[in-house]
């Protein structure tokens, strides 16, 4: 198996990661489930706190979600609001949007941290 072009940053064994893409942008990937969100919460908050920019979280590489993924994003929005920073989510998976619609929190995810 060739590692040519592979990134040097470690990947969690469950495949869920928060990657800093610079300038307040982050890439979220893997499974956002009850098994991963507690770890991702801490990793994300540490990464977000390290900068001063407004935040954009791209979820285009998220492979699987459950209701705990909504709790994670809402928690991050609350943190951003308390920190006086805007946060927005992009490329939300269809399954997450469906859960958000059912839970009546879709406007929170599609709006900004000011919506809290």
pTM reported for the whole predicted model: 0.84
Residues 46-98: pLDDT tens digits?
999 999 999 999 999 999 999 999 999 999 999 999 999 999 999 999 999 99
User: Can you give the pLDDT at residue 112?
Assistant: 57
Is the pLDDT at 2 greater than 60? The verdict is no
Which residues have a Cβ under 8 Å from the Cβ of 100 and sit 6 or more positions away? 70, 92, 106, 108, 109
Neighbours of 26 (CB within 10 A): 22
User: Can you give the pLDDT at residue 15?
Assistant: 85
Q: Mean pLDDT of all residues in the chain?
A: 87
Q: Where are the domains positioned within the chain?
A: 17-115
CATH topology of domain 17-115: Transcription Regulator spoIIAA (3.30.750)
What b/e sequence results for 64-87 when a residue is b if at least 16 CB atoms lie within 10 Å of its CB, and e otherwise? ebbebbbbbbbebbebbbeeebbb
Q: What confidence category does residue 11 fall into, taking pLDDT thresholds of 50, 70 and 90?
A: very low
30 three-class SS: strand
User: Can you give the pLDDT at residue 9?
Assistant: 41
């Amino acid at each position: 198996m060739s590692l040519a072009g592979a990134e040097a940053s470690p990947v969690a064994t469950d495949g869920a990661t928060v990657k800093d893409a610079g300038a307040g942008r982050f890439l979220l990937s893997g499974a956002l489930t009850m098994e991963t969100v507690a770890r991702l919460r801490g990793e994300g908050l540490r990464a977000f706190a390290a900068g001063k920019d407004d935040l954009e979280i791209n979820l285009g590489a998220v492979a699987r979600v459950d209701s705990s993924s909504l709790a994670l994003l809402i928690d991050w929005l609350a943190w951003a609001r308390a920190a006086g920073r805007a946060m927005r989510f992009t490329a939300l998976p269809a399954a997450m949007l469906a859960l958000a619609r059912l839970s009546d929190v879709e406007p929170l995810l599609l709006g900004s941290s000011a919506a809290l």
